[in-house]
Chains A and B, each alone.
Chain A
Amino acid sequence: MKFRAKMQDVLYMREFQAIVATLAKLAKDCVMILAQERMHFIVNEDHSSTSSPLVWASIAAKDYFPEYKMSPARPDHEFIVLAMSASHLSRSLAVLRSGSTSSVHSCKLKLKMIQFPCISVIASVVSPSSSESREVVHDVPATIIPSSDWAAYVLPKVPRAEIVLGLPSLRLMRSLIDKLKNIAPSLVFHGSAAGELNLVSESDMATITTRFSRLMPYPATKESQQVASCEEASCSVDSRKASAFFGALQLPNEEIIIGIDREHCIYLQLDIRNNVVLHSILPAVCI
């Protein structure tokens, strides 16, 4: 079992760091699935957490890592599956973010065995005070998940949705949902094919509806059986989970795609770039 990868572009390194930082905000542990072409991260895969949603990210390895070598334990295996502390991983990559004070030449990830398996994050940093680079090494302890347990760590499927809309201004959504979570435990996303989204939060004292109009509609991925032409769909989700997702996002992207599967789930997708996607599923709750 071998794995090594190397990043060199500063922007990609920062983006990678931002993805990991987002995951670290959502859960304590994450699962890293290394495939030949892609790298996946999953947090809360077992739905055990009550306050944060299932989130996974898929990365086109070749984009981020010009050098990417992965050889599984056995030739018939497809993946290397590792479980590790998300905060440790995020902490080890934190050096990539500090762009102004020091510049990072390259960052290597290596699977190593030092008393226990770990992912070594080796960053070569040049500080402004000197010309020579210094090496920062963090060994993030990881647990190798045997292939017999892989069934529990299968990448979730993107659910099909009746209404798919592009959400505007992430910052606005974040502060809005953060406030709405104090009003009621559940939050209703009500979307229409005409590009309208209503966020409804209902308590004994008040009902707060926030209306977004002229959103960009995407083609629905699921045919509705009930109505011939599906015009509207709504789903009520746990507002804490929604808030946790929006609060955790560290990526500068402005646009996020929301899919509403009636009475099933809300699906959120953040396209970081082509082939690099962050997904989340918020399951529906009964009101």
Chain B
Amino acid sequence: MKCTLEGSNARVLAKAIQSLSKVGKELFIEADGQGLQMRTINATQSAVGSIRFSRAMFDTFQMPPSGDCYCKIAMKSCLGVFRNMKQVEHCELSVVNNSTKFQVKLRCKLETTKQALLSIVDEQNITSAVPTDQSVNCIRGDFKLFMEISNSFIASEEELTLEAKPDSLSAKNYIEGARVNDKFMRSQLKLKPSEFSHYQVAQEAVITFCIKEFRAFLLFAEALNAEMSIEFDDAGSPFLLKIKKHAEIECILILSTLSPDDVSFSEDYCQREIREADLPSVAQKRKSSTPGPTVQQKRRLAENTTVISDEDASVFQFREHRPPRPSEAPSVQPARLLADGDTVDVVEEEADEEALLLAVSEAAQASQAYPPNSTEVYFFETEEAPPTVLPPEKINDAEEEDESIPQSPEREQRHKLRTIFSRCFQNTYVPREPSPNSQVYAPNSDTED
């Protein structure tokens, strides 16, 4: 792949990279017949940004003979290359060295040439399976208007909530009734539909999304001096931000929105119970599979000593009660696994990884469902006399009835079984390391852990 751009177009490209750098740490570049596309995904995988430059932007555009060309490079190094673009008159992008390096040649004023080789991390690409043209609600307006909305909130704000009604739009930094911190200043901006150039809200919706990525793309809209449109359906379904400029540049940012049954996680982040209707056993108390520090030590202890009371319940009973883990789980499940509890756009890579993990966990569970093999450790508590000992005693009692020694009250018969690492054998367990990207919302209270 090789393409060249003129200076001013290269500056636009640089702006695009700057905006994308505020979203994710890796840049995915894809060249196809229509042009060049740059994408990024954020750490919590709740936002995917993509910017497409059509072929008309480029002076020359050569595709490799094999067809599509895509690569992944580190954002940080790329950002460094495109930092000072004022002097640039001509820019050449190419993939060299047997597709291991991404080369950027910048020809500046005074016959200076800057050349950078960025190593290609992977030949990887991301796509989003979110339909981008079916949203019910669409609001379009000048970037300045969205800028004013964004500027009404402090820079450290994390989320923005939009309440769209057919006759008004209000932007808030809080969810009605959710946040209770009494040091928190609530702000809201109420706008009239007439301020927007296009305002179509067919279905009332209250959506909450991350403002950081929104601002990143707003910055790009400002650089392009273009109109911006936002499209969304309802809480929980993706929020789209689109910028279009002369059919040459097309940007789309897909943001996940807070699902309506999730509370605001910035204040109220707590473990969530995934409720399922028919779970009979105490031992099956489930908790969210969030691999985070919020897992409480206390709870774990309680579970370790849980008595499995009904006798015929097998030791490892998850097989029967295992809720069907649907094959489409990746589309829902990653949301739970992510620390911020957001829903996520389905991304191929993530889905694959998730499917793999699920397969592993399933395999692990399957092997555990059969009679325990030698690798498993379990104890019978020795103080607790097994029931088989009792019948002979009863016979003795019958024989020595004359003596009428009152029989000591029988101990309640129950099997006490203690397992080590009991949580590992629960069907909620997904063998997954806590992701390094997961945000720690509260420090672990137990220092031993």
Residues of A within 8 A of B (CB): 85, 88, 91-92, 95, 102, 114-116, 118, 127, 129-132, 134-141
Contact = CB atoms under 8 A, between A and B. Distances in A.
B155 to A, nearest CB: 11
A138 B186 contact: yes
Contacts of A132: 192, 194-195
Given A115-B180, A134-B195, A136-B152, A129 B188 contact: no
Interface string B162-185: 000000000000000000101111
A52 to B, nearest CB: 21
A136 B152 CA distance: 8
Contacts of B186: 114, 118, 137-139
16 contacts: A92-B185, A95-B152, A102-B148, A115-B180, A127-B148, A131-B194, A132-B192, A134-B190, A135-B190, A138-B185, A138-B186, A138-B187, A138-B188, A139-B185, A139-B187, A141-B184
Contacts of A136: 152, 187-190
Given A91-B154, A134-B189, A135-B189, A85 B183 contact: yes
B19 to A, nearest CB: 23
Contacts, number: 58
Interface residues of B, number: 20
B252 to A, nearest CB: 25
B93 interface: no
A51 to B, nearest CB: 23
A141 B190 contact: no
Contacts of B14: none
B189 A88 contact: no
Which of A127, A132, A137 has the most chain B CB within a 10 Å cutoff?
A137
A116 B188 CA distance: 17
Contacts of B397: none
Interface string B139-151: 0001011001000
A92 to B, nearest CB: 7
B191 interface: yes
Nearest to A101: B148
Contacts of A131: 194
A116 B191 CA distance: 26
Contact of B195 (A129, A137, A139): A129
B148 A137 contact: no
A136 B194 CA distance: 16
Contact of B182 (A95, A102, A134, A141): A141
B112 to A, nearest CB: 39
Nearest to A142: B182
Contacts of A92: 185, 187
A137 B188 contact: yes
Interface string B191-227: 1101100000000000000000000000000000000
Contact of A130 (B180, B182, B194): B194
Contacts of A135: 189-190
A131 B142 CA distance: 15
A135 B163 CA distance: 14
B167 to A, nearest CB: 12
Given A102-B148, A135-B189, 17 more contacts: A85-B183, A91-B154, A114-B186, A115-B180, A116-B182, A132-B192, A132-B194, A132-B195, A135-B190, A136-B152, A136-B189, A136-B190, A137-B188, A138-B188, A140-B185, A141-B182, A141-B183
